[in-house]
Amino acid sequence: MMTLEKFEEASELVKKVTLNTKLIYSEYFSEQSGNKVYLKPENMQYTGAYKVRGAYYKISTLSDEEREKGLITASAGNHAQGVAYAAKLYHAKAVIVMPTTTPLIKVNRTKGYGAEVILHGDVYDDAYQFACQLAEEKGYTFIHPFDDEDVATGQGTIAMEIFKELPTVDIILVPIGGGGLASGVSTLAKLLNPNVKVIGVEPAGANCMQESLKAGHVVTLPGVDTIADGTAVKTPGSTIFPYIQKNINDIITVDDHELIVSFLDMIENHKMIVENSGLLTVAALKQLDCKNKKIVSILSGGNMDVITVSSVVQNGLIQRGRIFTVSVLLPDRPGELVAVAKVVAENQGNVIRLDHNQFVSINRNSAVELTITMEAFGHEHKNSIVKALKDKGYNPKLVQPKNLY
Q: Which helix (H) or strand (E) is 203 found in, with range?
A: strand 197-203
For residue 300, indicate whether it is catalytic.
yes
**Which of 178, 226, 176 minimizes the C-alpha distance to 201?**
176
Rg (CA), the chain: 25
User: Exposed, middle or buried by CB within 10 Å (0-12, 13-18, 19+), for 5?
Assistant: exposed
DSSP conformation letters of 22-44: --EEEHHHHHHHTSEEEEEEGGG
Residue type, 212: S
Looking at 193-230, list the stretches that DSSP marks H as alpha helix, in order from N- to C-terminal side.
Answer: 208-215
Q: In Å, how far from its chain's centre is CA 354?
A: 34
How many residues are recorded in the chain? 405
Collect all residues with Cβ–Cβ distance below 8 Å to 130 and sequence separation of at least 6: 74, 97, 118, 120, 121
Under 8 Å between Cβ of 371 and 324: no
Under 8 Å between Cβ of 251 and 236: no
Q: Which of 183, 294, 300, 382 is catalytic?
A: 300
* Helix-helix angle 52-61:4-13, to 10 degrees: 110
Under 8 Å between Cβ of 83 and 55: yes
**Which of 252, 127, 231 minimizes the C-alpha distance to 178?**
231
Q: Which of 51, 58, 106, 190 is catalytic?
A: 51
- Rounded CA-CA distance 151/331 in Å is 67
- Rounded CA-CA distance 199/188 in Å is 14
Collect all residues with Cβ–Cβ distance below 8 Å to 395 and sequence separation of at least 6: 328, 329
Strands of the sheet with 350-357, listed across from one edge:
350-357, 368-375, 323-330, 397-399
Phi, psi of 216, rounded to the nearest 5 degrees: 85, 5
Positions marked active-site: 51, 300
